[in-house]
Amino acid sequence: MTKPEPHILVIFGASGDLTKRKLIPALYELFRQNLLPERFAVLGVSRSEIGDEIFREKMMEFLPDPSQNSAQASEFLDSLFYQTTETSVAADYPKLKQRLESLGNDLAIPANYIFYLSTPPIMYEVIPQILAETGLNDISKGFKRIIIEKPFGTDLASARELNRKLLSFYTEEQLYRIDHYLGKETVQNMLVTRFSNGIFEPIWNQNFIHHVEITSSETLGVEDRGGYYDHSGALRDMVQNHLMQLVGMIAMEPPVVIEANAIRNEMLKVFQSMRPIREEDVPKQVFRGQYTSSHIGNEPVKGYREENGVGPQSKTETYVALKFFIDNFRWAGVPFYIRTGKKLPTRVTEVVIYFKTTPHHLFEYNSDSEPINNQLVLRIQPDEGVLLKLGMKVPGAGFRVQNMNMDFHYDQLSNKYLPSAYSRLLLDCMHGDATLYSRSDAVERAWEYVQPILDAWKNNPDIPIYGYPAGTWGPEVVDQLIADSFWRKPCKNLAHDGEYCEL
């Protein structure tokens, strides 16, 4: 693989949790794979009064096995630098610019900069504007790119305003809106599964598919993020970004080429084709829930309203399930279902394609194997892989049929390097490849789709929020969404779900 051009990666919020637990380990992973530029530096930026050496010591704690690879770790840490900056104060930015120029001169790195905003969202407008006013958006002497973490806005109006302000100082090609879900190998494999196999594309449409189900469940609650989560909720936190991206991947038309604009154009078309959910239809198409106190095993578990930072009358959803349609030739009439929640039985993210049953049932099924749709399960995490459910003959007399699994697991590629999501996304930005980053029009369209749901919950206090005991699959009422089928209850293990279920 061609290495990226020499550049300096500037991380705002360098003392934060994301930098320590995700970004620095991801960069170290790229370094160990010899994928970073020959001339490269990381400049951490934060308000803490520390220097280069203390910053390196703090980051060393988060390197995987630094003692076993001490020479490599030491060489990597030597590329880390630190600049004390009050990021909301414009007067501090000339010093930051001087430090970048000084590092560039010392290390023979041209004025190529990537700015990573690992900061609270309130700074997403402030930092880019001050950078531009300081001349650090000038591409005449080298590229300037900005990586922006989620959440990108809290509703449609704020997302539009943030886009407007960013695009007044930068071009779309300079902006990289990150969604770490798209960095996962198994998400990207959905495109390969569809478009590299001739057996799937001819049946990937309303003639053969009964419905599509997308699940993203977590066993954890809000933990110590109650104050933040109570102003967010599952719809904003998961559906508007991560799960909408999965919908785009599953439902898009074949792009002309595998490159950023071609893929993002097709994903945008999916979002534009999604049938709007009107405010008055929200109670019938969208169900929200909130986990309540329970026991998981022998351990007592607090309910959401008992968590630190959460109001006793909070109506913030920790679970949401919705039904929607995509009105185009490929998907006309095919229902899509999304569910996501906290304190569910297992941590799993997957897409399930339910194919239509045969028009006439010829065979007798085992008592524990009802004649159900064939299913293609695209498992994103954990036990990553692909599972196809088929009807097979039970050995012996007659034609009794049992549902069986045909599976592939990513860990079978143990001899291959599988980058983490952040490693892949950082490397793509270094190469100037925005394929796996969200474009402004797609971000706004996703917000446009969920805004009526947010408005309905705000304007109609009579829309219920259903309780569900922690450790269960959510409110029972969500079964009403799938009238002629049922929600799959996935296990941690992908392949042997019919034999045992590991939670």
List residues with catalytic annotation. 242
Q: To 10 degrees, the CA torsion angle through 96, 102, 103, 104? A: 110
The DSSP annotation for 385-445 comes to EEEEEEEEEPSSSS-EEEEEEEEEEGGGGTTS----HHHHHHHHHHHT--TTSB-HHHHHH
In the sheet where 335-341 sits, what is the strand order?
Answer: 364-365, 400-409, 385-393, 375-381, 348-355, 209-217, 335-341, 319-325, 286-292, 466-469
Contact assessment for residue 451 and residue 156, using Cβ atoms and an 8 Å cutoff: yes
- Please, what is the angle between helix 440-459 and helix 244-251, to 10°? 130
| Whole-number Cα distances in Å, 118 to 56, 150, 305, 399, 474 | 18, 10, 29, 60, 32
Q: What are phi and psi of 249, to 5 degrees?
A: -65, -45
Residue whose pair of structure tokens reads 């990586």 in the numeric block:
147
Which residues make beta-bridge pairs with 354? Answer: 211, 375
- Give the tokens for residue 330: 């490929």
Residue type, 312: P
Query: Which of 439, 22, 380 is closest to 241 using CA atoms?
Result: 439
Residue type, 214: I
Contact assessment for residue 103 and residue 8, using Cβ atoms and an 8 Å cutoff: yes
Residue whose pair of structure tokens reads 């898009």 in the numeric block:
252
In the sheet where 40-46 sits, what is the strand order?
Answer: 80-84, 40-46, 7-12, 113-117, 144-148, 175-177
Cβ atoms within 10 Å of 94's Cβ, excluding its own = 11
Query: Which of 240, 174, 264 is closest to 163 using CA atoms?
Result: 174
Cβ atoms within 10 Å of 462's Cβ, excluding its own = 5
